Amino acid sequence: MADTLHDGAALDFPVLCGYLGPAMAIELDLSHRAPAAPTGAGPANLLGLGREGLRAAMIAAGVEEKKARMRAGQLWRWMYHYGVGDFSGMTDVAKEMRAKLGEHFYLARPAINAAQASVDGTRKWLVGYGPNVEAECVYIPDVGKAGALCVSSQVGCTLTCTFCHTGTQTLVRNLSAAEIVGQVMIARDALGEWPTSNENRLLTNIVFMGMGEPLYNLDNVVEAIDTIADGDGISISKRRITVSTAGVAPKIPELGKRTGAMLAISLHATNDDLRNELVPINRKYNLKELFDAIRAYPDLSNSKRVTFEYVMLKGVNDTLAEARDLVKLLKHVPAKINLIPFNPWPGAKYECSDWETIEAFAEVLNRAGYASPIRTPRGRDILAACGQLRSESVKERASERLARRLAEKEGSAP
């Protein structure tokens, strides 16, 4: 069941951090993966840069400052409207300028280290940003107006939410704005969404609900949103971009002021004691501080409601009393609630609530006037939960190292 989002779209994101368990994967052909970025001194990659970054790059390459903005605008349209990956395809740029650009720059998507496709149309990519630096993005069809891409903002995470698979991974680093935008471009390549069109688009919504806490990487998230939403390029409206936070309260109003994006809160509990356990950042910013920040989010209304994510954990947070407490907690906040049936991942200590319990919980919310759809799990036949594909990659590298060491030992034995 899909949740009703702003202007009639639908929001249904079952592929969130740790919510779905692993299963068999269908591997995709990666023969056309983007080349890895060169190392050391040499040309710089322009793909993913924002307008100011492109203008500065043009000036650094020797373009006259008064012409740099115009040149950057040309590149912008070729890169983000047409999706070209080579300067030779930019037919309205003079050959001499194309050659000059090629001396200083190149255009390359991030590497795709692994890719999977589900029988239900869900697609997932493990994106490589350097040695042992990988993040994930997931395309989910029939979400939003047509389909949504769940993007990552960090490699790993610091928050250690106990039900979340990514929470088991330490933070490696923040992703740059260009690296975030690169995830969108990879998805549009796969979906054949170039040039940008408003007709029959498959990817209409972006959700920052993948690996990492977006508000701990706010500057790069803001810049990425500006690039993704620009009407001369990828052109996904900020009203169709949702940023989910576990509760970094001081940054929530700032997110709204700087982006105008939709807000989602990873809630999962109605009292501080339980939320301290499930979402440990609550120990720093408790529910009162969190809801004070939510109420300060700019332009909240019935057409711009906050999405509250609530994973259903058997015997933990799923009583009717807690449903009624949730109604009280959301008072005076334009809200919708996504109820998420939990699917255990390896090592998880929780079980999913019984279906009858979930339906009864939803009924309490519905009677109180809140849209509270129960998410239909998607991507069950692939490693759909954020962080799981990366975990498998890390395990594979570890097993390769172990095998190599054993072989070296055997080779050195007398």
Domains belonging to the chain, first-starting first, are: 3-30+110-395 (3.20.20.70), 44-106 (1.10.150.530)
Among 16-25, 163-172, 196-205, which is the least confidently predicted range? 16-25
Comparison of pLDDT for 361 and 38, the residue scoring more: 361
- Is 115 a residue whose pLDDT tops 60? yes
pLDDT for 168: 65
How sure is the predictor about 347, in pLDDT bands with cuts at 50, 70 and 90? Answer: confident
Contact predicate 106/43, CB 8 Å: yes
> How far are the Cα atoms of 4, 5, 29, 205 from residue 10, in angstroms, in the given order?
5, 5, 31, 10
User: pLDDT tens digit string along 71-80?
Assistant: 999 999 999 9
CB atoms closer than 10 angstroms to residue 158: 14
Does 400 score more than 60 pLDDT? no
Question: Higher confidence at residue 27 or residue 285?
Answer: 285
Average pLDDT, integer, range 366-388: 74
CB atoms within 10 A of CB 113: 18
* CA neighbor of 304 nearest in space, from 263, 339, 243: 263
Residue 132 above 70 pLDDT? yes
Residue 182: both structure tokens together: 């690169």
Per this entry, what is the length of the chain?
414
Considering 17, 150, 164, 386, which one is annotated as catalytic?
A: 386
Check residues 9 and 388 and name the one with the higher pLDDT.
388
At residue 158, the pLDDT reads 83
Mean pLDDT, all residues of the chain? 85
Rounded to whole angstroms, how far apart are CA atoms 197 and 214? 28
The pLDDT assigned to 169 comes to 78
pLDDT of residue 345 exceeding 80: no
Q: Give catalytic status of residue 254 as yes or no.
A: no
pLDDT for res 37: 39
Residue 136 appears among annotated catalytic residues: yes
Q: What percent of the chain has pLDDT over 70?
A: 80
pLDDT number for residue 278: 96
Query: 């001396």: which residue's tokens?
Result: 103
Above 60 in pLDDT, residue 47? yes
Long-range CB contact pairs, 191-194, < 8 A, 24+: 191/139, 191/147, 193/83, 194/81, 194/82, 194/83
Q: Where are the beta strands (DSSP E) in 219-305?
A: 241-245, 262-266
**pLDDT score, position 375:** 82
In this predicted structure, the answer to whether residue 265 has a pLDDT above a threshold of 60 is yes
Q: Which of 17, 134, 136, 322 is catalytic?
A: 136
